[in-house]
């Protein structure tokens, strides 16, 4: 019975004395196919066991003069324990409900006959391309972004290949639907829109059993895991278990943009509770109803998870940390970066994509990175991660001593400018950015400098500020605060007063948390800003010119970065790989893009971009001796393209 409880997969056709020859034939075929396609020995029941436990059972009388079926439905009504079992061979009705194999109306007449679909579908046969056209039309009918998100999730759960083909072919239109900014609202309302589980939920209740939980996942060939604990979802705060929308969305992009097989992707949420009282009092909340666990209890659960993942999937499994709070994110990356293949997209992915944008922007403003000054609003994992990678690029490419490079970078947090007098009270990841300067509370004061009368018409009187402010003079303003509209008119105009082409990056997500809008940036700088944001903004017309804002979206980096790690069999992530990814992305920005003010390439070419990033990352892994798949392919770009998942329908025999 223990093996029976582990899941018995049988054909739905009831085996009894009244079975037809066709039913018996289908049952026999199903059993044979089941033993061939099963990837897990503990889910395969020997034919002798099947015969003993099912085939020799005789129908027995049941209530209402019915016959007891083998699903135990009648016994279930009598409150007796039954064993759930289902079909293992994808055919007939069940094939249409298997998202990995379903083709909908694209099943050919021959396939409908072979796989018992005749009559289960309308008679017409249409192509996958026509299906894409039809679904895109339907999604465009929705006016509310969350409705579009739910429609896409429904498609992913019913026809996986069609979902990815639609997303790949219309990525610029649908990326904001399946990811930022819409995914933020989806996470906030995840409990009320929750339909089918799309990953593993590991809570405190599973402590001591996490390896067993991982083995419950039906796929064994996992190559990448995206995991969150839901404490800092985008700029929305603690959403607890409902943060699952982020790993699901990220892994959709791994497959669509980076070509990693969907079956090789596993979304995971670690649920240790939430400090969000609104969720705890929400009857639709799907997570643990308790305050968030911290300290040793939290560390032990995460450590068990990390050990179980490595034990179950091996050394080369990529674990991407997503939306952990600052106090855990840095510690986890530091601790497990030495023993696992780990990557934090908020710290490292954001840094890599922003650095790429800055490298591309140099073609518009001139000079090298070392010639510029950087001022950040926000000193969390994103801000400090970007700052450190910028300094590292100066150190590696321009031979600027790392300490000197850091002095060109200034950070403002909720208490003002980070300066040396605050060093004792700072968190460890902020301390490298505590430079000598008098305290400044407001961002606008950190931007302003004393200067000669300006030719810009919006300045009516000179700014009188202390002379010590002159040593900042930022040429680049970067927002990672998670607080909307903090790049005020005064701040942006001050940037324009000291820079011919101020670089302004409002990176916080979702759109409501963006430090300023594209329209504000272009208007307040009289069309001179080089602007990019975390969430997408529409083109802006100003004084007869149309400006196209760029989007510093992590989706440029992490899918290709992950593909490069996977295809090379890399066992550890190093900063040099992040720099390689940044340079590869910046190289994809054309002069035509720059002429429009874009410092990132269009997403229409994202699969090509990802292949180039993957190749550079893999090359760096081979150079550092961290790649495990030997020998190294001669053409890494072509190899990356050949590794990519393609969501075209197969022909079924």
User: What is the CA angle 174-349-331, rounded to 5?
Assistant: 130
By the 10 Å C-beta count (0-12 exposed, 13-18 middle, 19+ buried), 598 is classed as buried
β-pairing, 224-228 vs 265-271, is parallel
Strand arrangement, sheet containing 416-417: 416-417, 409-413, 374-377, 476-479, 503-506, 530-533, 550-551
Q: In this predicted structure, what is the pLDDT of residue 448?
A: 86
pLDDT above 50 for 644 = yes
Any domain includes 600: yes
pLDDT above 50 for 238 = yes
Who's near 231: CB < 8 A, 6+ residues apart? 238, 243, 292, 323, 324, 325, 328
User: What is the CA angle 595-596-598, rounded to 5?
Assistant: 100
DSSP code per residue over 83-136: --EE--S--HHHHHT-TTT--GGG--HHHHHHTT-TTTS-S----HHHHHHHHH
Dist. CA 28–CA 50, nearest whole Å: 12
Who's near 370: CB < 8 A, 6+ residues apart? 394, 398, 400, 405, 408
- How does pLDDT run across 267-303, given as a tens digit for each residue? 999 999 999 999 999 999 999 999 999 999 999 999 9
- How does pLDDT run across 160-185, given as a tens digit for each residue? 999 999 999 999 999 999 998 999 99
What tokens were used for 270?
């670690």
To the question of whether residue 113 is assigned a binding role by annotation, the answer is: no
Same domain, 420 and 300: no
pLDDT above 50 for 7 = no
Backbone angles phi, psi at 432, to 5 degrees: -60, -15
Any domain includes 266: yes
Same domain, 285 and 250: yes
pLDDT above 90 for 235 = no
162 backbone φψ class: left, alpha, beta (φ>0; ψ -120 to 50):
alpha
Residue 419 carries which DSSP code?
A: B
> Which of 103, 165, 189, 250 is labelled catalytic?
250
Average pLDDT over residues 591-603: 93
What tokens were used for 310?
């490595």
Average pLDDT over residues 23-47: 44
Q: In this predicted structure, what is the pLDDT of residue 449?
A: 54
Who's near 612: CB < 8 A, 6+ residues apart? 560, 584, 587, 588, 637, 640
Dist. CA 635–CA 641, nearest whole Å: 10
Query: What mean pLDDT, rounded, does the chain reach?
Result: 87
Dist. CA 587–CA 28, nearest whole Å: 57
Average pLDDT over residues 95-104: 94
Average pLDDT over residues 457-476: 57
Dist. CA 462–CA 407, nearest whole Å: 27
> Which of 103, 148, 164, 179 is labelled catalytic?
179
CB atoms within 10 A of CB 390: 27
Domain CATH number, residue 318: 3.40.50.10380
412: three-class secondary structure by DSSP: strand
Share of the chain above pLDDT 90, in %: 78
Backbone angles phi, psi at 649, to 5 degrees: -65, 135
Is 316 catalytic? The answer is no
pLDDT above 80 for 471 = no
Q: In this predicted structure, what is the pLDDT of residue 371?
A: 95
To the question of whether residue 553 is assigned a binding role by annotation, the answer is: yes
Same domain, 290 and 366: no
Average pLDDT over residues 304-308: 98
651: three-class secondary structure by DSSP: coil
Is 179 catalytic? The answer is yes
Whether the CB-CB separation of 181 and 551 falls below 8 Å is answered with no
Lowest mean pLDDT across 280-294, 418-432, 461-475, 615-629: 461-475
- How does pLDDT run across 362-420, given as a tens digit for each residue? 999 999 999 999 999 999 999 999 999 999 999 999 889 999 999 999 999 999 999 99
Dist. CA 336–CA 338, nearest whole Å: 5
Average pLDDT over residues 527-534: 96
CB atoms within 10 A of CB 51: 12
Q: In this predicted structure, what is the pLDDT of residue 78?
A: 53
Average pLDDT over residues 203-226: 96
The number of folded domains in the chain is 3
Any domain includes 526: yes
Backbone angles phi, psi at 232, to 5 degrees: -140, 75
User: pTM here?
Assistant: 0.84
Average pLDDT over residues 333-343: 97
Question: Where among 290, 317, 340 does a domain terminate?
Answer: 340
Domain CATH number, residue 372: 3.40.50.720
Same domain, 269 and 226: yes
What tokens were used for 161?
């290949």
Q: In this predicted structure, what is the pLDDT of residue 79?
A: 59
How far from the centroid of its chain's Cα atoms is residue 93's Cα?
Answer: 33
Q: In this predicted structure, what is the pLDDT of residue 71?
A: 44
Question: Where among 282, 305, 340 does a domain terminate?
Answer: 340
Binned at pLDDT 50, 70 and 90, residue 107 comes out as very high
Same domain, 217 and 266: yes
DSSP code per residue over 265-289: EEEEEEE-----HHHHT-TT--S--
Any domain includes 332: yes
Q: In this predicted structure, what is the pLDDT of residue 86?
A: 57
Q: In this predicted structure, what is the pLDDT of residue 81?
A: 65
How far from the centroid of its chain's Cα atoms is residue 395's Cα?
Answer: 30
β-pairing, 503-506 vs 530-533, is parallel
- How does pLDDT run across 143-157, given as a tens digit for each residue? 999 999 999 999 999
Dist. CA 588–CA 572, nearest whole Å: 26
Dist. CA 284–CA 193, nearest whole Å: 9
Any domain includes 96: no
Locus of tokens 């239109």: 173
Who's near 164: CB < 8 A, 6+ residues apart? 252, 255, 256, 262, 645, 647
Same domain, 403 and 498: yes
Q: In this predicted structure, what is the pLDDT of residue 541?
A: 94
| Residue among 573, 598, 596, 597 at smallest CA distance from 585 | 598
Same domain, 282 and 361: no
Higher-confidence residue: 58 or 369? 369
Same domain, 579 and 431: no
Higher-confidence residue: 76 or 362? 362
Same domain, 193 and 211: yes
User: What is the CA angle 502-506-512, rounded to 5?
Assistant: 145
Average pLDDT over residues 204-211: 97
To the question of whether residue 238 is assigned a binding role by annotation, the answer is: no
Binned at pLDDT 50, 70 and 90, residue 90 comes out as confident
Any domain includes 48: no
- How does pLDDT run across 79-89, given as a tens digit for each residue? 566 566 654 66
Q: In this predicted structure, what is the pLDDT of residue 47?
A: 36
Lowest mean pLDDT across 9-18, 430-439, 489-498, 514-523: 9-18
To the question of whether residue 79 is assigned a binding role by annotation, the answer is: no
Domain around 590: 574-643
Any domain includes 391: yes
Same domain, 483 and 630: no
β-pairing, 416-417 vs 409-413, is antiparallel
Any domain includes 393: yes
Same domain, 330 and 225: yes
Tell me which H or E stretch contains 573: none
Same domain, 360 and 402: yes
| Residue among 559, 623, 566 at smallest CA distance from 315 | 566
What tokens were used for 332?
């986890």
Who's near 628: CB < 8 A, 6+ residues apart? 315, 316, 568, 569, 570, 571
Whether the CB-CB separation of 526 and 507 falls below 8 Å is answered with no
- How does pLDDT run across 536-585, given as a tens digit for each residue? 899 999 999 999 999 999 999 999 999 999 999 999 999 999 999 999 99
pLDDT above 70 for 28 = no
| Residue among 465, 399, 484, 471 at smallest CA distance from 435 | 471
Question: Where among 305, 340, 375 does a domain terminate?
Answer: 340
pLDDT above 80 for 504 = yes
Own/partner contacts of 459-462, CB < 8 Å, gap of 24 or more, are: 459/493, 459/497
Q: How many CA atoms lie within 13 A of 91 on its CB side?
A: 21
Who's near 94: CB < 8 A, 6+ residues apart? 12, 86, 87
β-pairing, 540-542 vs 545-547, is antiparallel
């Amino acid at each position: 019975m223990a093996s029976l409880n582990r899941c018995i997969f049988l054909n739905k056709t009831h085996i009894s004395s009244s079975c037809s020859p066709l039913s018996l034939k289908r049952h026999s075929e199903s059993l044979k196919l089941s033993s061939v396609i099963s990837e897990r020995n503990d889910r395969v029941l020997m034919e002798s066991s099947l015969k003993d436990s099912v085939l020799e059972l005789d129908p027995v009388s049941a209530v209402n003069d019915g016959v007891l079926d083998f699903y135990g439905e009648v016994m279930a009504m009598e409150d007796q324990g039954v064993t759930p079992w289902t079909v293992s061979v994808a055919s007939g009705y069940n094939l249409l409900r298997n998202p990995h194999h379903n083709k909908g109306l694209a099943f050919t007449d021959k396939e409908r006959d072979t796989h018992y679909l005749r009559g289960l579908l309308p008679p017409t046969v249409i192509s996958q391309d026509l299906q894409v056209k039809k679904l895109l039309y339907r999604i465009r009918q929705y006016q509310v972004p969350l409705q579009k998100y739910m429609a896409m999730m429904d498609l992913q759960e019913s026809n996986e290949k069609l979902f990815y083909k639609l997303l790949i072919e219309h990525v610029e239109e649908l990326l904001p639907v399946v990811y930022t900014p819409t995914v933020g609202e989806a996470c906030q309302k995840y409990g009320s829109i929750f339909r089918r589980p799309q990953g593993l939920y590991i809570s405190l209740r599973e402590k001591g059993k996490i390896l067993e939980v991982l083995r419950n996942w039906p796929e064994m060939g996992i190559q990448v895991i995206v995991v969150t604990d839901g404490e800092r979802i985008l700029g929305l705060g603690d959403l607890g278990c409902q943060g699952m929308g982020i790993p699901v969305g990220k892994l959709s992009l791994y497959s669509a943009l980076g070509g990693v097989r969907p079956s090789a992707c596993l979304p995971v949420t670690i649920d240790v509770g939430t400090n969000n009282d609104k969720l705890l009092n929400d009857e639709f909340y799907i997570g643990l109803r308790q305050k968030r666990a911290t300290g040793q209890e939290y560390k032990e659960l995460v450590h068990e998870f990390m050990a179980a993942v490595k034990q179950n999937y091996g050394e080369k499994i990529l674990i991407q940390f997503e939306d952990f709070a600052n106090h855990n994110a840095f510690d986890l990356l530091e601790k497990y970066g030495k023993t696992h293949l780990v990557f934090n997209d908020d710290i490292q992915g954001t840094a890599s994509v922003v650095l790429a944008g800055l490298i591309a922007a140099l073609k518009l403003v001139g000079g090298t990175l070392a010639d510029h000054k950087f001022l950040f609003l926000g000193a969390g994992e994103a801000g400090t991660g970007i700052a450190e990678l910028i300094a590292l690029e100066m150190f590696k490419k321009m031979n600027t001593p790392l300490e000197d490079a850091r002095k060109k970078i200034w950070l403002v947090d909720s208490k003002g400018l980070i300066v040396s007098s605050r060093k004792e009270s700072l968190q460890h990841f902020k301390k490298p950015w505590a430079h000598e300067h008098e305290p400044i509370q407001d961002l606008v004061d950190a931007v302003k400098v004393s200067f000669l009368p300006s030719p810009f018409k919006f300045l009516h009187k000179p700014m009188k500020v202390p002379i010590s402010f002159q040593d900042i003079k930022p040429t680049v303003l970067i927002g990672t605060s998670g607080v909307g509209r903090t790049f005020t008119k005064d701040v942006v105009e001050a940037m324009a007063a000291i820079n011919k082409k101020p670089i302004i990056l409002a990176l916080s997500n979702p759109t409501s948390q963006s430090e300023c809008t594209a329209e504000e940036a272009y208007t307040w700088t009289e069309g001179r800003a080089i602007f990019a944001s975390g969430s997408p903004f529409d083109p802006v017309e100003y004084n007869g010119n149309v400006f196209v804002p760029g989007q510093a979206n992590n989706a440029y980096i992490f899918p290709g970065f992950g593909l490069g790690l996977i295809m090379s069999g890399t066992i550890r992530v190093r900063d040099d790989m992040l720099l390689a990814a940044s340079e590869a992305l910046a190289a994809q920005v054309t002069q035509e893009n720059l002429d429009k003010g874009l410092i990132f390439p269009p997403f229409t070419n994202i699969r090509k971009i990802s292949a180039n990033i993957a190749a550079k990352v893999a090359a760096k892994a081979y150079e550092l001796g961290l790649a495990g798949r030997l020998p190294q392919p001669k053409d890494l770009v072509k190899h990356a393209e050949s590794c990519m998942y393609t969501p075209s329908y197969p022909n079924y025999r």
